[in-house]
């Protein structure tokens, strides 16, 4: 429906002015999924290769950016539809990534920032290319193809490609629930039309970076800092809200609520913020509150922040935002998830802080999941099971920490594989323990999306659910069906 409404400026009452059938979005065909295949008849000149992210194809003018401080390089301004070519991305780059027809980076592996965000935006990306910024020139027309397997290939010029459509009605029904990884609220209603059992991972970082854009502690403490420019910027940002706290809570709750509403009444598992210190540093005002860490990937992140005196107040804003979504907006399908929790004692500390902000497991039906992404989560699964409603396997970090490699490094990307026997042994151990304790266990990591045989392995183990990126839905469903029909 197309609903026209008005708010009385004095009484704040809302009036429905008129309602009529909506004639644009309601006419769209959501019954098909499109796959992309290059035209074999067209000659191709390969420029270089990297790691493919997703399975789409994109092309356009290359726009080489080394820094967001200067959006124009070599006389070429980034335009919507350009191919973003850079060294590596972080959350600050997401507004530009949204406008790109494809993304190419020198560094990174299949689970680096550029790869994760590109999947969620539905933009083809080729990462870990080594020297893409040196090979290409701004303005050069190229094609980035992720439609040829795990290897992403950059071609000279625009290469025509074909689209193959799959009718969703032809997909087989599965016994294993398939959920979706969704970070962008703006994409939520589009993805909700796909066959799904809910959202297995909604990352707060995307919402904070795009809808809030300021470090939460800077919002709360900017008046105590000797930074008049920061204070002036924040005061402008929060104009129209009751306070800085009100700004953060409402902005975060709007983003979460849009995803939760799109998939209601199915579960939407919202992961509390998991920025690393270097990523938080890049948010407005972050330099005043973030330490320098030699290896932020295994530093002050996830659960260790939530009970820290240096961050606890900011975590409280996240709790208040989720309470607003669940209790005021009525979206009780939101489930919370704690990331990167190293010990059982740490989990209990987080729960105590949550309780202080009015969020208690079991209260108002609130469920709590734990990201199983650290070997200690697996080894201590018996004890963790006593305090949670379910595990969600974060295979990206679990693979990194089990194999002892940096998943952002292209130098060791060839060793990064969720199908490594050591990682598989960890997963079997967790699923067996979870079943013994009657606790749900699913997976939201990238493995099942990239490797259908990995999804089949998890189904054989009896996993309760698998959450995949929307662009991997068709191939994952088909792979799982092959296992279940035996």
Six token digits for residue 315: 């975590």
Q: Which residues are catalytic?
A: 113, 444
Helices (H), 62-101: 94-99
Q: Are 74 and 137 in contact (CB under 8 A)?
A: yes
Q: Are 178 and 195 in contact (CB under 8 A)?
A: yes
**Beta pairing partners, 125:** 53, 103
Q: How many CA atoms lie within 13 A of 221 on its CB side?
A: 16
Q: Are 93 and 86 in contact (CB under 8 A)?
A: yes
Cβ-based neighbour number of residue 100 at 10 Å: 26
Which residues, at least 6 apart from 391, have a Cβ–Cβ distance to it below 8 Å? 369, 370, 371, 372, 377, 381, 384, 430, 434, 439, 440, 441, 442
* Cis before 195? omega within 30: no
Dihedrals phi, psi of 146, to nearest 5 degrees? -115, 15
Q: Are 313 and 239 in contact (CB under 8 A)?
A: no
Distance CA 9, CA 14 (A): 10
Helices (H), 33-135: 94-99, 113-121, 132-135
Q: E-assigned strands of 302-396?
A: 334-338, 368-372, 390-393
Q: What angle do CA 335, 339, 341 make, to 5 degrees?
A: 125
- Kindly state the greatest CA–CA separation across the chain: 67
**Residue 11 gets which letter from DSSP?**
T
């Amino acid at each position: 429906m197309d609903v026209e409404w008005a708010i009385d400026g004095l009484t704040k009452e809302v009036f429905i002015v008129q309602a009529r059938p909506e004639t644009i979005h309601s006419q769209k065909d959501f019954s098909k999924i499109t796959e992309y295949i290059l035209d074999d008849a067209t000659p191709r000149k390969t420029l270089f290769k990297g790691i493919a992210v997703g399975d789409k194809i994109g092309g356009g003018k290359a726009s080489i950016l080394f820094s967001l401080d200067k959006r124009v390089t070599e006389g070429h301004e980034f335009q919507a539809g350009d191919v973003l070519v850079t060294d590596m991305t972080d959350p600050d780059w997401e507004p530009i990534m949204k406008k790109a027809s494809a993304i190419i980076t020198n560094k990174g592996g299949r689970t680096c920032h550029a790869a994760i965000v590109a999947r969620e935006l539905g933009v083809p990306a080729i990462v870990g290319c080594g020297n893409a910024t040196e090979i290409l020139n701004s303005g050069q027309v190229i094609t980035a193809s992720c439609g040829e397997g795990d290897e992403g290939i950059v071609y000279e010029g625009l290469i025509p490609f074909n689209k193959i459509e799959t009718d969703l009605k032809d997909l087989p029904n599965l016994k294993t629930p398939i959920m979706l990884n969704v970070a962008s609220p703006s994409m939520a209603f589009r993805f909700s039309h796909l066959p799904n059992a809910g959202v297995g991972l909604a990352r707060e970082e995307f919402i904070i970076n795009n809808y809030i854009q300021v470090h939460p502690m800077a919002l709360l403490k900017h008046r105590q800092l000797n930074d008049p420019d920061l204070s002036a910027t924040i005061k402008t940002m929060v104009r129209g809200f009751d306070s800085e706290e009100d700004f953060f809570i409402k902005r975060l709750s709007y983003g979460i609520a849009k995803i939760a509403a799109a998939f209601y009444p199915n579960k939407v598992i919202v992961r509390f913020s998991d920025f690393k210190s270097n990523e938080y540093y890049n948010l407005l005002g972050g330099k005043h509150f973030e330490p320098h860490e030699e290896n932020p990937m295994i530093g002050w992140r996830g659960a260790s922040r939530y009970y820290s005196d240096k961050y606890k107040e900011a975590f409280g804003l996240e709790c208040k935002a989720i309470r607003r979504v669940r209790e005021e907006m009525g979206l009780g399908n939101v489930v919370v998830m704690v990331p990167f929790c190293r010990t059982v004692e740490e989990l209990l500390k987080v729960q105590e802080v949550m309780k202080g902000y009015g969020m208690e497991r079991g209260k108002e039906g609130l469920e709590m999941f734990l990201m199983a992404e650290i070997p200690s989560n697996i080894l201590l699964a018996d004890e963790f099971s006593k305090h949670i409603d379910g595990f969600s396997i974060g295979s990206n970090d679990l693979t990194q920490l089990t194999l002892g490699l940096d998943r952002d490094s292209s130098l060791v990307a060839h060793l990064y594989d969720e199908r490594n026997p050591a990682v598989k042994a960890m997963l079997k151990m967790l699923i067996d323990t979870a079943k013994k304790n009657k606790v749900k266990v699913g997976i939201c990591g990238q493995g099942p999306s990239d490797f259908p045989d990995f999804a089949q392995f998890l189904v054989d183990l009896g996993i309760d659910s698998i959450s995949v990126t929307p662009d991997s839905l068709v191939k994952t469903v088909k792979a799982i069906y092959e296992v279940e029909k035996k």
